[in-house]
Amino acid sequence: MALKTVALLHPGEMGAAIGACLGGRGLRIVWASAGRSAATRSRASAAGMEDLGTLKRALGVADIVLSVCPPHGALALAREVAGHGFRGIYIDANAVSPATVRDIGRVVEGAEATFVDGGIIGPPPIRGVSSRIYLSGGPARDIAAVFAGSNLEAIPLDSAAGAASALKVCYAAWTKGTTALLAAIRALATHEGIEAALLEEWKRSQPELPKRSEVVTAQARKAWRWIGEMEEIAASFEAAGLPAGFHLAAADLYRRLEGFKDGTTAPALAEVTAAFRRGAPRRKGASGDRRRSSAPRAQEEAAPARFKFGTAAIKRDAAKRLRSLKRS
Grouping H, G, I as helix, E, B as strand and the rest as coil, residue 154 is: strand
* Phi, psi of 73, rounded to the nearest 5 degrees: -105, 0
Q: What pLDDT band is residue 300 in, cutting at 50, 70 and 90?
A: very low
pLDDT at 317 over 60: no
Answer with the residue of higher pLDDT: 291 or 16.
16
**Domain of residue 57, residue span:** 5-159
Q: What is the CATH number of the domain that holds 74?
A: 3.40.50.720
Q: In whole numbers, what is the pLDDT of the chain averaged over residues?
A: 88
CA distance 223 to 254: 5
The 10s digit of each residue's pLDDT in 134-153 is 999 999 999 999 999 999 99
Instruction: Tell me which of 159, 190, 211 is where a domain ends.
Output: 159
Flag whether 309 is in a domain: no
**Residues of the chain with pLDDT > 90: what percent?**
81
Flag whether 124 is in a domain: yes
Which pLDDT does position 293 carry in this prediction? 40
The answer for residues whose C-beta is within 8 angstroms of residue 43's C-beta and 6 or more apart is 11, 12, 13, 16
User: Does 274 lie in the same domain as 191?
Assistant: yes
* 3-state helix vs strand vs coil in the chain, percent to 5: 60, 10, 30
Answer with the residue of higher pLDDT: 316 or 174.
174
CA distance 97 to 237: 9
Angle subtended by helix axes 38-46 and 13-24, to nearest 10: 20
The 10s digit of each residue's pLDDT in 23-48 is 999 999 999 999 999 999 999 999 99
Flag whether 296 is in a domain: no
Q: What is the CATH number of the domain that holds 260?
A: 1.10.1040
User: Does 138 lie in the same domain as 238?
Assistant: no
Range with lowest mean pLDDT among 95-99, 117-121, 156-160, 277-281: 277-281
Instruction: Tell me which of 159, 189, 210 is where a domain ends.
Output: 159
The 10s digit of each residue's pLDDT in 148-203 is 999 999 999 999 999 999 999 999 999 999 999 999 999 999 999 999 999 999 99
pLDDT at 301 over 60: no
pTM of this structure = 0.84
The 10s digit of each residue's pLDDT in 247-283 is 999 999 999 999 999 888 999 999 999 999 985 444 4
Cβ neighbourhood burial of 328 (10 Å; 0-12, 13-18, 19+)? exposed
pLDDT at 302 over 50: no
Of 252, 256, 213, 215, residue with least CA distance to 230: 252
Instruction: Tell me which of 159, 185, 206 is where a domain ends.
Output: 159
User: Does 155 lie in the same domain as 172?
Assistant: no
